[in-house]
């Protein structure tokens, strides 16, 4: 039961289980009520977040109601508790105990005794419950059912059919939770098995959850299979660094190496699920491209390994007294972003800092400072919504746990969903979303409605203003959901030109004085800072001398970004070699997520803390390095550790003075060109943090150019024919997919194999030429 359910449940029922009275909300299943008394009834198919199946029959108990006993044991996972019910579990009923022992014996007759080589051995519900509820010796002397093993049901999930106990958790998850019924049970009797469709592999963004909830070792992840024994693993609590959904994760480490990540249990956020990117994309931590030692560019023009004192001295020399910009990227923890923010103001004396390493606008900066800092919309609001509006936001691709939450309500009660997407994505189709042109076309919202705005709204002038207007006029709840995990934290930390930490407006002298006294500094820069694009152009025209760059991929911003950095002094804080480190003057290696502690602020603005997984990791968090650098520059920021930083953030608190107001812009519909490119990213694509995980990449969606049938006819192409999409800068070549989309639009994924839009075409959306190849 999740906390929010507890709030709405009022009617309760009481029953006796094994002689103990229990009172539970009406509708609670016997097996759940027993859990509340500490009575564990063995089970396989039962899962609290899936609809009851009653398939495995392991949880049989004796039940009587009003003194009348059921003639045979009942499945406690399907029967709700009622008043005057008396339940006897295996603890008090010999009949129930024998029934359970019988079922366990049946489950084991066709199950291989390969626990010593099975990944699940040591954390296996079948193994554990066979010990607690099974016989010590088998009575089965016959032949076991065998299957060819294993089969790949996708590039990342393997199935050993002979181990399967056919509980249908995986198939029910895929259908009920993910809306991707790509696996199903087929055949019958003892030959029943999980299978995929002939021409449709198990390509769901959520497939890893099936591995996690499999109560035996039938489903395994290709990247973890045969890698470890559960009892050799050390588990640490972590938060997902991949998106702003805010998933609670568990990271399992063996001898200093991360071997797997699992969805953690947080009913208010990810429940018990996560997406495949969060589960499997962690190989970037151990790639050969990791920067392990500081690097300084020598007089020979090459980067050379250097000691920390040398590197810090070189960086300080290049920055001190110079006009410096700071680009942090969207992947920082709240503490690290705070470090950059304070470093910029105190050590560099500038507000030229921006976390937005993507297409952005001044309107967005105003919106972030004036509106987003106050937003408190939560998952619970989605649960209760009468209407969810998606503006420039594709939840399944850009914040997959938000998608699961919306989908759950769509499935449960037909929640109304409206999207301003130019084409119905698979996610939109699953949500049964109505497509409209823009926020201006939406009406009928109430205070129960929820508007979810994505970061791509910055790409259309007036879109954020229109979203705000819609929320204000209807009373609907508003949320801004960026793609990256660090953006909301960076906003709170003031890694933005017009905002200081704790939402203090740069332009407000009282806010500045407040911060000055907290920081113990005499002055803070008063000029509002430049945006990312302005910083880059200032570096290019030498109105800025140097730049400090966090985890930024210039190609996420613009095709010119990297060139604009060429003739300037660049200090790069990075985890891996990149286009930026290649041109940097000083490279300072920093810790990645499992090597440090910290917190992200998810889209709700709530902290998602995580612990350091690798105790002996040598690399330090960005904030620690910036603090050393500031010391070296003689302008200390006094943030020696992540925990000290967290304490400072806490004590600084949030500004309660006057807020900046949003200067709304008129909505300007994107120009109608002969052919206009529109795009967003797929969840699984060429993103930096997905490096090195081929199994995961194997389930990425294929890039195709989506055009209307009329456009296809004009071009003389049919499904899967190649088209060339070109701009003045270059072109991409993709197979065609004919879809329902306006005739003058072509949709492509923004950063997928064969479709890297910004580097190839120079923009993420705009006028293009499309021709048959």
Partner 1 sequence: MSTLTPILSAHWNEADSFTMASYKRHGGYKAIETALKSTPDEVIAQIKESGLRGRGGAGFPTGSKWGFIPQGDNKAHYLVVNADESEPGTCKDIPLLLANPHVLIEGIIIGSYAIRANHSFIYLRGEVVHVFRRVQKAIEDAYAAGLLGKNILGSGFDLELTLHAGAGAYICGEETALLDSLEGFRGQPRLRPPFPAIAGLYAMPTVVNNVESIASVPSIINSGVEWFQSMGTEKSKGYTLYSLSGHVANPGQFEAPLGITLREILELAGGIRAGHQLKFWTPGGSSTPMFTAEHLDVPLDYEGVSAAGSMLGTKALQIFDETTCVVRAVLRWVEFYKHESCGKCTPCREGTWWLVQMLKDLEAGKGTEADLEKLLDLCDNIAGRSFCALADGAVSPIISSLKYFRSEYITHLTNGGCPFDPVASTLFETAGA
Q: Applying CB under 8 A, which residues contact partner 1?
A: 52-58, 60, 71-73, 78, 98-99, 101-103, 105-107, 109-110, 139-140, 142-143, 145, 165-166, 184-192
For partner 1, the closer of residues 53 and 524 by Cβ is 53
DSSP per-residue string spanning 48-108? TTS-----S-TTEEEEEETTEEPSS-EETTT-B--TTEEEE-TTT-HHHHHHHHHHHHHHH
Chain centroid, CA 730 distance in Å: 32
Name the residue nearer to partner 1 (CB basis): 189 or 301.
189
Least Cβ distance, residue 185 to partner 1 (angstroms): 7
720 token code pair: 């899967």
Task: Compute the least distance from the CB of residue 121 to partner 1, in Å.
Answer: 21
Cβ 138 to partner 1 shortest distance, Å: 11
Q: Please, what is the minimum distance in Å from the beta carbon of residue 44 to partner 1? A: 8
Task: Provide, rounded to whole angstroms, the least separation between the CB of residue 110 and partner 1.
Answer: 6
Up-side HSE of residue 542: CA atoms within 13 Å toward CB? 1
Instruction: Give whichever of 175 and 252 is closer to partner 1, judged by the CB atom.
Output: 175
Q: Which two tokens stand for residue 128?
A: 């554990």
Strand 450-454 and strand 416-419: the pairing is unpaired
In angstroms, give the least distance from the CB of 553 to partner 1: 47
> Which C-beta is closer to partner 1: that of 195 or that of 766?
195
Parallel, antiparallel or unpaired: strands 450-454 and 387-391: parallel
Q: How far is the CB of 157 from partner 1 (least distance, A)?
A: 21
Beta bridge mates, 453: 391, 480
- Are the CB atoms for 575 and 589 separated by under 8 Å? yes
Compare residues 62 and 266 and give the one whose CB is closer to partner 1.
Answer: 62
CB of residue 72 to partner 1, shortest distance in Å = 3
Closest distance of CB 107 from partner 1, Å = 6
Cβ closest to partner 1, residue 93 vs residue 711:
93
> What order do you get walking across the sheet with 248-254 strand by strand?
234-239, 248-254, 257-263
CB nearer to partner 1: pick between 188 and 255: 188
Beta bridge partners of 60: 75
Crossing angle of helices 509-519 and 642-652, in 10° steps, is 140
Report the half-sphere exposure of 206 (CA within 13 A, side-chain side). 31
HSE of 221, CA atoms in CB hemisphere, 13 A: 26
User: What are the strands, taking DSSP E only, across 422-575?
Assistant: 434-435, 450-454, 477-481, 499-500, 504-505, 546-549, 569-574
Residue 131 or 190: which CB sits closer to partner 1? 190
- Indicate if the alpha-carbon torsion angle 429, 431, 432, 433 is positive or negative: negative
Alpha-carbon distance 57 to 77, whole Å? Answer: 9
Smaller CB separation from partner 1, 54 or 762:
54
Tell me the CB-side half-sphere exposure of residue 591, using CA atoms within 13 A. Answer: 27
């Amino acid at each position: 039961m999740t906390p929010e359910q507890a709030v709405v449940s009022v009617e309760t029922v009481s029953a006796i289980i094994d002689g103990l009275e229990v009172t539970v909300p009406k509708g609670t299943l016997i097996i759940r009520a027993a859990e509340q008394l500490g009575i564990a009834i063995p089970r396989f198919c039962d899962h609290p977040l899936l609809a009851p199946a009653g398939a495995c029959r392991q949880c049989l108990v004796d039940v009587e109601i009003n003194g009348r006993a059921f003639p045979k044991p009942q499945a406690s996972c399907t029967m709700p508790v009622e008043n005057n019910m008396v339940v006897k579990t295996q603890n008090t009923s010999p009949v129930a105990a024998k029934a359970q022992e019988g079922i366990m014996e049946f489950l084991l007759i066709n199950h291989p005794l390969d626990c010593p080589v099975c990944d699940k051995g040591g954390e296996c519900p079948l193994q554990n419950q066979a010990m607690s509820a099974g016989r010590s010796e088998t009575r089965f002397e016959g032949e076991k059912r065998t299957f060819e093993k294993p089969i790949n049901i996708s590039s990342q999930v393997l199935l050993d059919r002979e181990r399967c106990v056919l509980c249908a958790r995986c198939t029910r998850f895929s259908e009920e939770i993910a809306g991707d019924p790509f696996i199903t049970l087929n055949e019958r009797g003892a030959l029943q098995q999980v299978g995929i469709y002939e021409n449709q592999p198990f390509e769901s963004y959520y497939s890893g959850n099936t591995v996690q909830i499999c109560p035996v070792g039938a489903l395994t992840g290709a990247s973890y299979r045969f890698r470890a024994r559960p009892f050799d693993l050390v588990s640490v609590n972590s938060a997902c660094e991949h998106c702003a959904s805010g998933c609670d994760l568990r990271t399992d480490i063996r001898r200093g190496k991360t071997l797997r990540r699992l969805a953690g249990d947080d009913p208010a956020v990810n429940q018990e699920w996560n997406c495949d990117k969060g589960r499997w994309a962690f190989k970037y931590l151990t790639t050969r491209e990791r920067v392990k030692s500081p690097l300084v560019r020598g007089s020979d023009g090459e980067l050379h390994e250097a000691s920390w004192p040398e590197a810090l001295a070189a960086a300080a020399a290049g920055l001190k007294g110079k006009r410096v910009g700071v680009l942090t990227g969207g992947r920082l923890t709240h503490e690290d972003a705070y470090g950059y923010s304070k470093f910029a103001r105190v050590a560099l004396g500038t507000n030229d800092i921006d976390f937005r390493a993507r297409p952005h606008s001044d309107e967005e900066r105003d919106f972030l400072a004036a509106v987003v800092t106050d937003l408190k919309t939560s998952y619970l609001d989605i649960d209760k919504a009468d209407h969810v509006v998606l503006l420039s936001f594709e939840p399944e691709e850009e914040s997959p746990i938000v998608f699961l939450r919306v989908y759950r309500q769509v499935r449960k009660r037909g929640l109304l969903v409206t999207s301003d997407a130019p084409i119905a994505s698979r996610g939109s189709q699953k949500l049964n979303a109505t497509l409209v042109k823009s926020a201006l076309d939406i009406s009928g919202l109430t205070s129960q409605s929820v508007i979810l705005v994505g970061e791509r709204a910055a790409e259309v002038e007036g879109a954020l203003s229109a979203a705000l207007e819609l929320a204000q006029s209807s009373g609907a709840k508003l949320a801004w959901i960026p793609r990256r995990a660090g953006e909301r934290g960076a906003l709170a930390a003031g890694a933005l030109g017009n905002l200081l930490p704790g939402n203090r407006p740069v332009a407000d002298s009282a806010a500045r004085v407040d911060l000055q006294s907290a920081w113990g500094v005499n002055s803070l820069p008063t000029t509002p800072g430049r945006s990312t694009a302005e910083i880059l152009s200032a570096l290019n025209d030498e109105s800025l001398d140097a730049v400090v760059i966090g985890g930024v991929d210039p190609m996420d911003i613009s095709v010119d970004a990297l060139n604009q950095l060429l003739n300037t002094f660049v200090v790069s804080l990075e985890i891996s070699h990149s286009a930026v480190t290649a041109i940097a003057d000083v490279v300072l290696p920093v810790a990645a997520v499992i090597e440090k502690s910290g917190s992200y602020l998810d889209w709700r603005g709530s902290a998602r803390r995580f612990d350091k997984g690798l105790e002996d990791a040598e690399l330090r968090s960005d904030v620690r390095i910036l603090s050393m650098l500031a010391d070296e520059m003689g302008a200390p920021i006094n943030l020696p550790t992540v925990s000290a930083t967290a304490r400072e953030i806490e004590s600084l608190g949030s500004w309660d003075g006057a807020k900046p107001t949003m200067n709304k812009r008129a909505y300007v519909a994107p120009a109608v060109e002969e052919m206009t490119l529109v795009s967003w990213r797929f969840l699984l694509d060429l993103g930096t943090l997905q490096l090195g995980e081929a199994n995961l990449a194997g389930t990425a969606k294929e890039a195709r150019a989506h055009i209307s049938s009329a456009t296809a006819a004009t071009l003389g192409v049919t499904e899967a024919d190649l088209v060339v999409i070109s701009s003045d800068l270059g072109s991409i070549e993709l197979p065609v997919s004919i879809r329902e989309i306006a005739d003058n639009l072509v949709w492509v994924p923004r950063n997928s194999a064969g479709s890297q839009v910004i580097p190839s075409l120079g923009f993420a959306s705009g006028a293009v030429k499309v021709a048959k190849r």
